[in-house]
Chain A
Amino acid sequence: MSARFRSTLELLASKRVEIIVVGGVAAVLQGAPIVTFDLDLVHRRTEENVRRLLGALTELQAQNRGDPRGLSPTESQLLGPGRVLLTTVHGPVDVLGVVANGLTYEDLIPDTVSLDLGGISIPVLGLSRLIEVKQAVGRPKDLAVLPTLRATLEESRRLRT
């Protein structure tokens, strides 16, 4: 079976889609020992970037998740601030116009770290900002993972000193 997070991220990088990895995969990439099943992305909502993103999503055969009609995502959906929940050939992908209290790609990009995934470099929301975002979102599933994220941040800072 092919690696799915990697395959999706490699495709997005090859299409030069401007995204930030947030959520569980962002936490995993920075060392949090958690298991996650979907890839959460915040994208830059310009027309040009949304066109590139749509091109990648078409290759991934993306369909709106839970929609019995199996409709593909649209440009207008991706230009908006909402959450676009998708099923793809590489598993679930959530494309987010904003996170927490309306934070956009432009708001988050200063707090990203660029991580080398073996040939590709991917912008990932830094762990301390990810913790802030999860606190602000405040859903039980976000709060439940906070002790692990805080411990990971603490241990990674200890390693650096």
Chain B
Amino acid sequence: MESNPRRALVQEYDVPVKLDAQNSGTCGVGSPVPLALDDPSASAYDSDGVDRSLVRESLSRTPAERLDIADSYAQEIEMLRLLLRPIPLGA
């Protein structure tokens, strides 16, 4: 079984390019694309596919700031869900 999640995705979607684990990434959901050698985003991901740059950015904030961001994300996603909910016919 493939241990690298990004490489597994590539195999699953049969992307016809040979990707290096340190030099590949995903663009959007389930759409793996090769990254150029000089692409700075290539070094952001670790071998588990975690974007370390997001982790470091979050760690640069205070717990209070992180809580406020979590609050606003949750509320905005809920708002989007409400907006995208189908409206029943005749409503």
Task: Please measure, in the bound complex, the distance between the C-alpha atom of A36 and the C-alpha atom of B71, giving whole angstroms.
Answer: 9
Interface residues on chain A, size class: 20 to 34
Q: Are A155 and B52 in contact (CB under 8 A)?
A: yes
Contact flags A110-125 to B (C-beta < 8 A → 1, else 0): 0000011110000010
Is A151's CB under 8 angstroms from B46's CB? yes
How many chain B residues have a CB neighbour from A under 8 Å?
A: 27
Complex interface residues of chain B between 40 and 68 (CB less than 8 A to chain A): 46, 48-52, 54-59, 61-64, 66-68
Describe B's contact surface by its main secondary structure: helix
Pick from B67, B72, B78 the residue with the most CB of A within 10 Å. B67
Contacting B70 at CB < 8 Å: which of A35, A148, A152, A159? A35
Answer whether A25 and B64 are a contact pair too, CB < 8 Å, given A33-B55, A152-B59.
no
> Interface centre among B55, B57, B70, by most A CB within 10 Å?
B70
Docked Cα-Cα span, A30 to B61, in Å, equals 10
Query: Assuming A151-B55, A155-B52, is B64 touching A36 (CB within 8 A)?
Result: no
The reply to whether A152 and B55 form a contact with Cβ atoms under 8 Å apart is yes
Q: Is A32 an interface residue (CB 8 A)?
A: yes
Known: A148-B55, A155-B55, A155-B56. A116 touches B63 (CB 8 A): yes
Residues of A within 8 A of B66 (CB): 28-29, 31
- A4 part of interface (Cβ distance < 8 Å): yes
**B22 interface contact, C-beta 8 A:** no
Q: How many angstroms from the CA of A132 to the CA of B74 in the assembled complex?
A: 26
A residues within 8 A CB of B56? Answer: 155
Interface pairs A-B: 7 shortest CB-CB:
A147-B48, A33-B54, A118-B64, A3-B71, A31-B59, A151-B50, A115-B63
Residues of B within 8 A of A (CB): 46, 48-52, 54-59, 61-64, 66-68, 70-75, 77-78
